[in-house]
């Protein structure tokens, strides 16, 4: 097991770079997969976004200076890739927030989804949020990240994150009230 400092050094040396990156992929794939999966919802899409995350990380090794933790760096890439994926999907008509229960129904039919109807409805409500609110909510609620860490990941102030989170919670609550 490597520390962040050791990984940073290993990633900068050409002779240890590949081994260190293979370690990172093995060590952080599952954690990043679930972060991405909560954002894009579909298993196959999450795998695609995760693969793009690691490709972008590998191609961007020269720009990684070790000023942040490796997990922070990878999470930032994964979040940006997820947001980009969702935007592309919206632009190509792949997701419509006007669809009544399609996300919940799709999740319930997904063999990789092990939740119940309430969890599927929660994902339906989250999918209706604007990108920033959705991302902040997921990082805070599912990943249990502190506002200071989310601030570093999204490069924004803690105050705006808190506001986004509380607005997201209000919208989700309203969704469930309307559903009842």
Range of the domain at 61: 1-95
Whole-number pLDDT of residue 22 = 95
Helices and strands, number each (H, E), in the chain: 9, 0
Please tell me the least confidently modeled range out of 15-19, 48-52, 63-67: 63-67
Whole-number pLDDT of residue 104 = 55
pLDDT tens column, 21-35:
999 999 999 999 999
C-alpha distances (whole Å) from 78 to each of 22, 27, 66, 173 are 17, 15, 17, 27
Q: Specify the number of domains making up the chain.
A: 2
Read off the pLDDT of each residue in 154-167 and give the average, rounded to a whole number.
Answer: 93
Domain boundary among 74, 95, 116: 95
Q: Record the pTM.
A: 0.78
Domain boundary among 95, 119, 143: 95
Judge if 91 and 24 occupy the same domain: yes
Domain boundary among 95, 119, 154: 95
Alpha carbon 125 to chain centroid, angstroms: 16
- Residue whose token pair is 């972060």: 35
- CATH label of the domain that carries residue 163: 1.10.10.10
Whole-number pLDDT of residue 99 = 46
Local confidence band at 82 (pLDDT 50, 70, 90 cut-offs): very high
Q: How many CB atoms lie within 10 A of CB 180?
A: 4
Q: Which residue has the higher pLDDT, 15 or 110?
A: 15
Q: Is 103 helix (H, G, I), strand (E, B) or coil?
A: helix
DSSP string, 125-148: HHHTS-HHHHHHHHHHHTS---HH
| Alpha carbon distance 124, 118 (integer Å) | 10
């Amino acid at each position: 097991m490597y520390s962040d400092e050791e990984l940073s050094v290993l990633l900068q040396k050409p002779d240890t770079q590949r081994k260190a990156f293979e370690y990172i992929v093995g060590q952080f794939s599952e954690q990043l997969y679930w972060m991405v999966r909560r954002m894009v919802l579909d298993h196959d899409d999450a795998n695609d976004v995760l693969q793009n995350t690691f490709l972008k990380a590998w191609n961007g090794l020269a720009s990684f200076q070790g000023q942040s933790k490796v997990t922070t760096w990878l999470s930032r890439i994964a979040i940006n890739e997820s947001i980009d994926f969702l935007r592309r999907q919206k632009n190509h008509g792949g997701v419509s927030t006007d669809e009544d229960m399609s996300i919940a129904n799709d999740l319930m039919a997904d063999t990789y989804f092990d939740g119940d109807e309430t969890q599927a409805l929660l994902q339906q409500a989250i999918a209706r949020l604007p990108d920033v609110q959705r991302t902040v909510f997921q990082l805070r609620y599912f990943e249990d990240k502190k506002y200071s860490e989310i601030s570093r990941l999204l490069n924004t102030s803690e105050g705006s994150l808190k506001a986004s989170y509380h607005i997201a919670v209000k919208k989700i609550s309203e969704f469930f009230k309307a559903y009842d």
